[in-house]
Amino acid sequence: MKKLIISHMSFKFNKQKNYFFHNANVTFESGKIYFIQGKNGVGKTTFFSILQGTIPQNALLSGSVTFNNKEYVIKNNTMNAELSCHIKTMLQDSNKMVINTMTVEENVKLAQLPLYPRLKPLASSTHVPTMMRNFNIDPSLPVKQLSGGQKQILAIIMTLQKPTQVLLLDEPTAALDDKNSHMVIQFLETLAQQLDLIVIIITHDKELTDTYAQHRKIVIKKEDEEIRTIE
Amino acid sequence: MFETMLIIAEQALMHFPLILGAYISVSLMKLPDLSIESAYVFGAFLATKMVPSLSALPSALILIIVSCASLLGGACVGAVSGLLTQKARIPHLLSSIITIGIFHGITQLVAGVYVSLSGYTNVLAWDIIPLHPELPILFMIFVACSLATVYFFETELGYSLAAFGNNPSFFAHYGISTTYVFMLGIIIANACAGLSGYLYAQSNGFADISMGFGKLLLCVTALILGKMIATKSLSLIAPTSGLFAYFTLQQLLLKVGFDLRYFTMVQALVIVAILIAQHRKKEDLHIDHLGV
């Protein structure tokens, strides 16, 4: 089992008096999905940015992150690049992560391309996860014919085509109806277990978290004008 | 009738690399690539300027060298407009306009406003078709370009260019270099335009600083006509059929006594008529913000 341990993490903008997080300690384990909830502006997305290594300028960040038993101490406001490359963030709008005019299979192949695409033929066949069929996603279908939830699932699969151990999703169900929201979360649950992934989801949907958060629900909330992370 | 068909074929084949370039940058990558007109002129000037110094060489070798020079000339124009967009963060329409300005000056500085090829062997000529000696070699270039393009569209890079047009922010998310894809796409497109410029200059016997005027309108008209004929993406059929349709229309108008000085007006009207008709029919031809 892999663990992502956040230790004594504090974050604030230079000009601000109060911390977004102060001395926060959280542990995430692989094979499970985690939900992060909190009011707008409490620092949910900032927390993702920190993990991804895109820390805003003019900020003060300290603490350490332990991943696979290796501790990365945050120095000079910079997250270790070796750690950040294991972590992938999904965009809120799945339309920005897919090519609507191409088929599902072509999209998966494109997501596998190297940093510099070559003058060699695109892979003739590719492994499209069988679990996609459980969600009625036919690899030969054009992406524009998929539902919002199916597109979200496709975008997740495409993201996982490059080595990933931690998947961050910022409100993945915000634009989806109930049926599609449940479909995406069920997919993420299966994925976390099958691929031994750490999945962390920011969501405002209380009904969704009540249904799926069997293990732990992490709430970021404002208390005494200070932001704290509570397990 | 047969003679008219040969003229249409000759004109279309001469402009084939240009339409390929426009297809890549305008249709696939969805870029307002005005610099293609500059690439057409600069490619033509660079190649024609080299012809006198190569006159002692065999024709086939001259053709290969000057074709490479014209491709290089066009590629330089593409590289400048691409760098302005990617590195100076200037919107591509503006970088294209700036590039036109830059290369209008550079071309005149390097080669003047007019380069004549009279007195030198026409390396495109091969006298097996009377009155149209350039047709066989133009056809060979057409076949070579088509085969290369069909292969290119099946490669990782070819698919990437089509993906760029649909979603330019796609690559950053999957760890693929957007700058690399953009630069290569625009360089290849402009290099093609440069080659076309040389073919036109060689065929007419001169290169002129104003020869690029209206070439993008030609491309857009041909691409829209092609879109009506063939809708499949990543296909050569649309730009090729559009190009032949364009020159057929031009020859038909000439046959009925139309003055070709006003042909740009006809092109513009054709585009407007097609777009309005599609809008009225509410047909989905995937016509986007660039109309192609």
| HSE-up of residue A19 (Cα within 13 Å, Cβ side) | 18
Question: B278 to chain A nearest CA, in Å?
Answer: 20
Cβ pair A122:B166 closer than 8 A: no
- Identity (one letter) of the amino acid at A105? E
Which residue in chain A is spatially nearest to B179 when comparing CA positions?
A116
E strand or H helix at A51, and its extent?
helix A44-52
Which residue in chain A is spatially nearest to B175 when comparing CA positions?
A115
d(CA A154, CA A150): 6
What's the pLDDT tens digit per position in A24-56? Answer: 888 898 998 888 887 787 778 888 888 888 877
Which residues, listed in sequence order, are joined to residue A64 by a DSSP beta bridge? A7, A73
d(CA B134, CA B121): 12
CB A45 within 8 A of CB A171: no
A140 contact partners, CB below 8 Å, separation of at least 6: A103, A104, A105
Location of structure tokens 């085509």: A161
Cβ pair B173:A122 closer than 8 A: no
- Interface membership of B163 toward A (CB under 8 Å): yes
Helix ranges (DSSP H) in chain B: 2-14, 16-22, 35-54, 59-86, 92-111, 135-153, 156-166, 170-173, 178-204, 215-229, 237-255, 263-281
Measured N-to-C along each axis, helices B178-204 and B2-14 cross at an angle, to the nearest 10 degrees, of 140
Record the pTM.
0.89
Which residue in chain A is spatially nearest to B28 when comparing CA positions?
A101
> Which residues of chain B are within 8 Å of residue A95 when distances are taken between CB atoms?
167
Residue in A99, A118, A162 closest to B166 by CB: A99
Which residue in chain B is spatially nearest to A101 when comparing CA positions?
B166
- The mean pLDDT value for B181-186 works out to 98
- Residue A221, classed as helix, strand or coil, is strand
Cβ pair A116:B180 closer than 8 A: yes
- Give residue A219's pLDDT: 67
Provide the pLDDT confidence category of residue B97 given band limits of 50, 70 and 90.
Answer: very high
E strand or H helix at A49, and its extent?
helix A44-52
What's the pLDDT tens digit per position in B104-121? Answer: 999 999 889 999 999 898
- Give residue A228's pLDDT: 45
Could you tell me which of B190, B199, B207 has the C-alpha nearest to residue B45?
B207
- The DSSP line for B203-272 is HHTEEETTTTTTHHHHHHHHHHHHHHH---SS-SHHHHHHHHHHHHHHHHHHHTT--GGGHHHHHHHHHH
- Interface membership of A97 toward B (CB under 8 Å): yes
d(CA A19, CA A225): 9
Q: What is the dihedral of CA B32, B34, B36, B39, to 10 degrees?
A: -140
Query: pLDDT tens track of chain A, all 231 residues?
Result: 889 998 888 888 888 887 877 888 888 989 988 888 877 877 788 888 888 888 777 888 888 999 988 999 888 777 778 888 889 999 888 899 999 989 999 999 999 999 999 999 988 776 777 777 778 888 889 999 999 889 999 999 999 988 899 999 998 888 888 888 888 898 898 889 988 999 999 888 888 888 887 655 666 655 544 444 444
- Interface membership of A121 toward B (CB under 8 Å): yes
Residue in B160, B166, B173 closest to A100 by CB: B166
Cβ pair B159:A122 closer than 8 A: yes
> Which residues of chain B are within 8 Å of residue A154 when distances are taken between CB atoms?
none
> Which residues of chain A are within 8 Å of residue B153 when distances are taken between CB atoms?
none
- Interface membership of A96 toward B (CB under 8 Å): yes
- Interface membership of B289 toward A (CB under 8 Å): no
d(CA B133, CA B136): 7
